[in-house]
């Protein structure tokens, strides 16, 4: 009998969201007829030492979950899991590395710089040829935790100080006033775009997980031209960063065109989450979405087993499921 473990929780600021996502995925797998169990972890590596399963469905948002740490531990233990591998996860979680990769590939992203202390941030802003308004956020955190829009340069150091409560580096990025859009990816296919219209100034933690007044427009009403352009950019990002199974690429669209904001390798599975919304637009219900993602990891496992069986001369007895 297939044994799937849903791993959620984690040690970071996004733990509570991860627990909600984990419960939703667990229930979704059960509804799809898949034997599953849930494992809430704190981030202690020893918690994984005794883990055995056919597939680990990783729903750890933020620290330890999206930064490649748990992926590397699972790889070392020979456990197959959902989502990107450890190398791709580590780059995608680091907003600075992501934006450098985008810039080097000629893909559009807003200007930015990184600092590790509040002092000197104003001088760095000037040296980078940037000016307020800017967005300040932790380099390696998600869910808009520790994020501030700064319109007064005198408040820049305070915003950096706030971001540094959650990470040892803060990113200062040119503020782009435009439509907030996201492109989900499922098994290499880019899903319909969603436009986010929060009542707050931007799509912050409150709007993402708590408020019920955010509007979600899917497919995004931005016209065929910009839709095609953003879908192409999302596909380029997926290929450039070696993303697999599921991901989300966030964009801002103003009169100058789209800017790639960031990449999320473990999108949420809460009632407010965007990947399930986009999948639903394609006719994929929540439980089916969970089953499909689990199946992607299972196919990798069975492909490896067939290869090993073939090498040993047993004839390839494995069923890819």
Candidates 264, 273, 291, 300; catalytic one: 264
126 contacts: CB under 8 Å, gap ≥ 6: none
> Is residue 262 among the annotated active site residues?
yes
Are the C-beta atoms of 162 and 146 separated by less than 8 Å? Answer: yes
Q: Which helix (H) or strand (E) holds 172?
A: strand 170-174
> Is residue 255 among the annotated active site residues?
no
Candidates 63, 141, 268, 273; catalytic one: 268
Q: From the CA atom positions of the chain, what is the Rg in Å? A: 20
| 297: three-class secondary structure by DSSP | helix
Closest to 233 (Cα-Cα) out of 216, 251, 254, 246: 251
> Is residue 250 among the annotated active site residues?
yes
> Is residue 81 among the annotated active site residues?
no
> Is residue 302 among the annotated active site residues?
no
> Is residue 273 among the annotated active site residues?
no
Candidates 14, 85, 157, 173; catalytic one: 14
- Per-residue b/e over 192-229, b at no fewer than 16 CB within 10 Å? bbbbbebeeebbbbebbbeeeebeeebebebeeebbeb
128 contacts: CB under 8 Å, gap ≥ 6: 111, 112, 113
Question: What is the C-alpha to C-alpha distance for residues 135 and 109, in angstroms, rounded to an integer?
Answer: 13
Candidates 248, 273, 287, 291; catalytic one: 248
> Is residue 75 among the annotated active site residues?
no
The number of beta carbons lying within 10 Å of the beta carbon of residue 288 is: 15
Candidates 262, 273, 287, 300; catalytic one: 262
127 contacts: CB under 8 Å, gap ≥ 6: none
Distance linking the first and last C-alpha atoms of the chain: 12
> Is residue 21 among the annotated active site residues?
no
Candidates 141, 209, 247, 273; catalytic one: 209
Candidates 250, 273, 287, 300; catalytic one: 250
Sequence-ordered alpha helix ranges (H) in the chain: 15-31, 69-76, 86-93, 95-104, 121-127, 156-163, 205-209, 223-240, 274-281, 286-312
Candidates 21, 143, 247, 287; catalytic one: 143
| Enzyme catalytic residues | 14, 143, 209, 248, 250, 262, 264, 268
């Amino acid at each position: 009998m297939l044994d799937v473990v849903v791993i959620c929780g984690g040690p970071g600021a996004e733990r509570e969201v991860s627990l909600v996502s984990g419960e939703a995925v667990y229930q979704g797998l059960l509804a799809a007829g898949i034997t599953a169990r849930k494992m809430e972890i704190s981030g202690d590596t020893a918690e994984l030492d005794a883990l055995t399963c056919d597939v680990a469905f990783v729903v750890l948002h933020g620290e330890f979950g999206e930064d490649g740490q748990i992926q590397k531990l699972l790889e070392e233990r020979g456990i197959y899991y959902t989502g990107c591998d450890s190398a791709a996860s580590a780059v995608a979680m680091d907003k600075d590395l992501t934006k450098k990769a985008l810039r080097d590939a000629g893909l559009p992203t807003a200007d930015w710089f990184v600092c590790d202390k509040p002092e000197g941030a104003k001088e760095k802003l000037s040296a980078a040829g940037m000016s307020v308004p800017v967005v300040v956020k932790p380099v390696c955190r998600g869910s808009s935790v520790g994020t501030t829009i700064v319109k007064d340069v005198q408040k820049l150091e305070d915003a950096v100080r706030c971001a540094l409560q959650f990470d040892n580096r803060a990113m200062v990025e040119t503020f782009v006033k435009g439509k907030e859009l996201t492109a989900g990816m499922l098994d290499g296919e880019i899903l319909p775009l969603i436009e986010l219209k929060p009542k707050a100034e931007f799509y912050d933690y409150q709007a993402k997980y708590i408020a019920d007044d955010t509007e979600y427009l899917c497919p995004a009403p931005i016209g065929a031209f910009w839709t095609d352009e953003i879908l192409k950019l999302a596909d380029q990002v997926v290929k450039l960063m070696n993303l697999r199974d599921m991901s989300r690429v966030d964009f801002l669209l103003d009169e100058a065109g789209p800017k790639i904001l960031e990449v999320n390798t473990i999108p949420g599975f809460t009632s407010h989450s965007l990947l399930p919304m986009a999948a639903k637009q394609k006719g994929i219900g929540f439980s089916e979405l969970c089953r499909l993602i689990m199946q992607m990891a299972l196919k990798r496992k069975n492909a490896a087993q067939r290869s090993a069986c073939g090498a040993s001369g047993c004839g390839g007895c494995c069923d890819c499921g």
